[in-house]
Amino acid sequence: MIIDIIRKKACNYELTKEELETIFNGYLTGFVKDYQMSAFLMAICINDMSDSEIFALTDIFIKSGDTLDLSSIPSIKVDKHSTGGVGDKTTLIVAPLVASCNVPVIKMSGRGLGYTGGTIDKLESIPSFRVDLSEEEIIKQAQEIGLVITSQTKNLAPLDKKIYALRDVTATTNSIPLIASSIMSKKIAAGTDKIIIDIKVGDGALIKTNNEAERLSSLLIKIGTYYQKEVRTIISPMDQPLGYNIGNKLEVIEALNVLDNKEAGPLLDLCLDLASNMIAMGLNISLEKARELALTNLKNGKAKEKFYELVKYQGGDLTKLTIDAKQYNIKANKSGVLKNIDALLIAKLSQNLGAGRKNKEDKIDYNAGIVIKKDIGSKVEEGDILAYLYTNLDIKDFDINGIFEIS
C-alpha cells in the first residue's frame, strides 16, 4: 500500500487526500519508515504537487497537532514569517514597531539550525529573557501589552517538524510545495488572522531564483485564501547579509540601533515595508497611511519603548547586553571597491565562531559573531578594517576566503 503511493507519485500521478493522509499520518506514528518517506519526498521534489495536493498536505500538517485559540484578543492579529536569511533580525524591529501602532503581534518563533541562530536564540541572548511562555501567559501578555515573542509552546504542526528534520538531511528542503505547506500549517495553527511572509531569494537563501519565489508567493496566498486568512508576501534579496551585525547578541544590539533611529539602509527599508503591510492589514488602512504611522512611531521612540516593554515583561535585562568575547580585526588585503559580501560564506564563518549550531544539541555562544564595517560599493584602502569578529573559541586562522570581494 505505502509502496503503491510512493510509486504513484514517482510516476507523476495526482494523489488523493486519503493517500496523502495514509503516508503522512503513517510517518507520524512510525508505521511509515524514514527510508520510505525520503523516497516519497524526493518524488515530490521531482514531480511537484497540484494545488489540491498542497491544500490537503497543509491540512494534514495542521491536524497533526494543536491550534492556538487567540479569539479572546479582540483586534485583528497579524503575524510575520521569514523564509530565513543571514543577519535577519527584522522580527526584533518589526514586531514592536507594529505593536506600538496598536496592532497586536503574537509571534511564535524558532531556534536556528542552519548557519545562524533563530529569533528565539537572539532573544535568549538577552540575559534572563524568558522564551517559554505558557498559553495562559501568552494570552495575558497579548491582552496587556499587545506583543509576545515566544517559542512554540503548544504541539503545533508536529508532523511538519518531523518531516522538516528529514528534509534537512535528504536534500528535499527546496521543494516549493513542501515549503508552502510547511510555513502555512504553522502560521494557521498559531491562530493569527493575517500574515506577511518575507520570501528571501539569493545565494544565501533556501530559494535561489525569482521564478521559484513568485511560485511560492502565489501558493502562500492561495493557501491563505483557502483558510480565509489574508496573506501578503514580500520578495527580498539575500545575496548579502541583512544589516551589519551577524550573531545573536550582536543582532539584538543592531535591532536596538534601528529602533533608536541610528541606522538607515536595506535593513530599515525592509522593516518599514514589512511593518507597513502588517499595520495596513491590522487596521484596514492604506499602505501609505500605515507607513506614515510606522515612521512616526519609529521617530518618536514608541517602537523602541515597546521593545523595552516586551523585554521587561518577559524578564530580560538589557543593561547586561555587552559582548563578552575576544575581538579580531579583518583587514582588506588590497585597495579598491568593496563589490560584494557573500551571505552564505559569512554565515558559515559566524557558525564557526560559535554563533550557530552544527547539530541540534550544540550550545550557541551568544557573544560570538561578526560586525561588518564597510558598505558594499564603498572604497577601501589596503589595511582598512572590513569587519570585527567576536569569538570565545581558540581560532588561529579565520577562513575569510571569498567573503569580501574587492576589485
The catalytic residue positions are: 81, 160, 167, 182, 186
Smallest distance from ligand URA to CB 214, Å: 16
Distance CA 294, CA 130 (A): 27
Beta-bridge mates of residue 200: 236
Q: Return the range that interacts with ligand URA (CB under 6 A); candidates 15-23, 174-182, 263-271, 379-387.
A: 174-182
CB nearer to ligand URA: give 43 or 220: 220
Distance CA 119, CA 126 (A): 12
Q: Return the range that interacts with ligand URA (CB under 6 A); candidates 85-93, 176-184, 214-222, 266-274.
A: 176-184
- The count of other CB atoms within 10 Å of the CB of residue 398 is 16
Quick one: which of 70, 94, 139, 179 contacts ligand URA (CB under 6 A)?
179
CB distance 250 to 370 below 8 Å: yes
How do 336-341 and 194-201 pair as beta strands? Answer: unpaired
CB distance 290 to 276 below 8 Å: yes
| Cell output for 203 | 545565494
Count of residues near ligand URA by CB under 6 A = 8
Give me the amino acid identity at 157: A
Give me the amino acid identity at 243: G
Q: Return the range that interacts with ligand URA (CB under 6 A); candidates 149-157, 178-186, 270-278, 398-406.
A: 178-186
CB nearer to ligand URA: give 57 or 341: 57
Question: Where do we find the cell 548557519?
Answer: 115
Q: Is 370 in the site for ligand URA (CB under 6 A)?
A: no
Smallest distance from ligand URA to CB 206, Å: 6
Q: Kindly list the distances between the CA atom of residue 105 and the CA atoms of 67, 88, 184, 221, 276, in Å, as whole numbers in the listed order.
A: 17, 18, 17, 20, 13
**Interacting residues with ligand URA between 196 and 225 (CB under 6 A):** 206
In the three-class reduction of DSSP (H, G, I as helix; E, B as strand; rest coil), residue 57 is classed as helix
The interface mask with ligand URA, positions 56-95, x = CB under 6 A, is ---------------------------xx-----------
Distance CA 311, CA 299 (A): 20
Quick one: which of 90, 172, 182, 367 contacts ligand URA (CB under 6 A)?
182
CB nearer to ligand URA: give 57 or 206: 206
Smallest distance from ligand URA to CB 348, Å: 19
CB nearer to ligand URA: give 193 or 212: 212
Q: Is 276 in the site for ligand URA (CB under 6 A)?
A: no
Distance CA 281, CA 262 (A): 28
H/E segment holding residue 3: helix 2-10
| Cell output for 178 | 513542501
CB nearer to ligand URA: give 179 or 252: 179
Positions touching ligand URA (CB under 6 A) are 83-84, 164, 178-179, 182-183, 206
